[in-house]
Amino acid sequence: MSERTRETASTKIFVDADEDIVFIIEKILHADSDRVLLVVPKHASLTSSIVNLKLISRELTDTSKVVILITSSELAQNKSEETHLLAFEKVDSVNDYIWEDAQVLITTLTESRKELKEKLIAARKESNTPLENLEPRPEFKYTHSDPEDAGNFEITTPTLPTQKITPTRLVEKGGFSIFAGGDITMIEEDIKPPEEKKSSPEVPEKPINPVDTNEDKTESEEDINIPVKDIRHHIPLDPPKPKEHFVAQRRQHNNSKPKQKSQKVSPRSTRRNTSPLIKKYATWIIIGILLYIGLSYVLRKASVEITTQDQSISISEQAEASRDVSSIQLEDKVAPMHEVSISESVSESALATGEANAGEKATGLVDITNKTNDQITLEAGTPITTLSDNLVFTLAEQVVLQPKYSDISFFTLENVPIVASDYGDEYNVSGVDVKIAEYKTSSEVSGRIYKKVQGGTSDLITVVSQEDVDTLKTKLIESIEPSLTEKIANELSDDEIIIPGSEVYEEVVLETSIPVGEEAKEFDITNFEYQMKVLVVAKDDINQIANHIITQQYGEETSEFLLDSTEIEIDNLQLQEDGKAIFTIKKSVSVPAIIDTEEVFSKIQGLSPAEAKSKLEDQEEIEIAEVSISPFFSPPFFRVIPTSPDRFEVIVVE
């Protein structure tokens, strides 16, 4: 395979829909580069006929130009082998290899034309046979009829000249002998070379009669010896009439009749003969003109091919997500959201730092007096506080106090067992007054410890406190939360979005090796399970809501351009107190301009193609407008946009 050379320079030529083929070829031949891109509208007259395309390829055979058509015409694309021109719908389809294929087509056409020319020349040479090889024509012999039979021929009297006939003479002109002057009927008598005429004596003129003509002819034929070209192939096959008899009869007729005048043709009679023919031709011409105008009007149709520019449309709308719906509510702009949770378990050890008193609690007896008229019941655990040191004891059992007997006689319950609320020997007291629970004054209920409360001791030890457990748990949470966040992010798909503020952390299980309050130097959290919960919403659901909003605002025509558009922006996504999330959807998409056919027709009806093209291309949404009027043979005054919508067509190229 030969090495392909790459050349990127090319010239782009735009062709009008009704541009003549002659001007198109002239543009191609005067292009700056050898590679020419010919941009042709779909309904242009150039691509409506294979003959036009063949004319272009024919002109390229004598040049170094290579042409590729850029057109959506199916005729040009399907007949590339027949027209020797490649055609594509878009410029992007053309590369260096396509240029080489186009060059091969033109080269093939050039070689085939050259081969055909050589064959025709060879065939012409074979037909040029030399004259020597032709068969000779048959010789004709002339016989003269007897003069007596002259009466059997009809003689027509010719018109005679009115001036005197000059004598016959032989002159030399360009190497040829030419006879001048004289009477053609007498040329046989006068044909003599100049030298013979001078040497021969003058012979007196004899009266000419039919009998002597034969002798005169014989003498003339013997005396004259002039080379004459062989003109036998011009002689008719029928034998000629006797010339001698014809000459004699004509002379007698001339002598017996006066000179005749030439007939003149009357101009008026000629005009009368030609007038019906002119009228006939004029009628047909008028009918043809009327048919031409009528067909041009009836078949007139305008086609506008519009290439639009993409325009950007955007929205910014508020929507919400809720756990109360299971599917998208497009009209209400509500997307469903759901909960996603993930948990992790860890264990850790720590030192115990709590302190506890391991001594004994003091115990004793108290006497309680009821000074009211009501029966009072005191439950076990009711606090009893000393008035002097504020030491707290509790009842060891339930007691019931009967009402007082009288204003001076009260009910007293003796030897009620009590226990100190804490460890220590400071609770070993006696002979002190106490107050009972909520009875703040001794006027209602009073008490007194008569006997010594004893047995209270103090012994401090190290134990596992709740604070120790909480401190270790906080440490574990700080290490586990980032891990949970990372895990839940990996667990979610790219389509799911976490609702900010919906994160919830929960303690699922907490197990320790030593219970709180037990004596220990060290303890373990053997199992700590921590859980993270989040609310998520699908990005695809939000995108569907955005697309629905766009189609409502800009029309259903935009829906086909939103199928592959998934780029959206979600702002101000936040969780409300009612459990719903609100957010703002922002989306921008580029779509081709929507062309209103009726609006286009109303703007350009009645305008010429050039005016309509200029007016349409002034609009922002239209990049290129190609206007064509059909049929192509319509007269100039019909080449305007029709005023009827039925004869108007708009083709939008995206």
Strands (DSSP E) contained in 539-580 are: 569-575
- The pTM of this model reads 0.39
Which tokens belong to 633?
A: 């043979």
Output the pLDDT for position 183.
Answer: 61
> Residue 437: its pLDDT value, please?
82
Q: Of 354, 546, 306, which is closest to residue 464 (Cα–Cα)?
A: 354
Q: How far is CA 564 from CA 329, 335, 378, 405, 568, in A?
A: 21, 20, 80, 97, 12
Residue 465 is predicted with a pLDDT of 92
pLDDT of residue 163: 55
Q: Are 247 and 185 in contact (CB under 8 A)?
A: yes
Residues of the chain with pLDDT under 50: 1-7, 131, 134, 140-156, 192, 194-251, 253-254, 257-271
Element (H, E) at 223: helix 213-223
pLDDT at position 133 is 53
| pLDDT for 532 | 93
Q: What pLDDT, on a 0 to 100 scale, did the predictor assign at position 591? A: 72
**From CA 609, how far away is CA 631, in angstroms rounded?**
13
Cα angle at 310 between 594 and 11, to 5 degrees? 120
Which pLDDT does position 181 carry in this prediction? 65
Name residue 318's amino acid. Answer: Q
Q: What is the pLDDT of residue 231?
A: 43
Q: Which neighbouring-strand residues pair with 334?
A: 320, 329
pLDDT at 164 (0 to 100): 58
Buried b (16+ CB within 10 A) or exposed e, 104-125: ebbeebbeeeeeeeeeeeeeee
Residue where the block lists tokens 């033109």: 106
CA distance 652 to 303: 11
CATH code at 359-458: 2.40.30
Cβ atoms of 49 and 15 closer than 8 Å: no
Check if the beta carbon of residue 427 is closer than 8 Å to that of residue 361.
yes
What confidence score (pLDDT) does residue 396 get?
93
Residue 218 has a pLDDT of 39
pLDDT of residue 220: 40
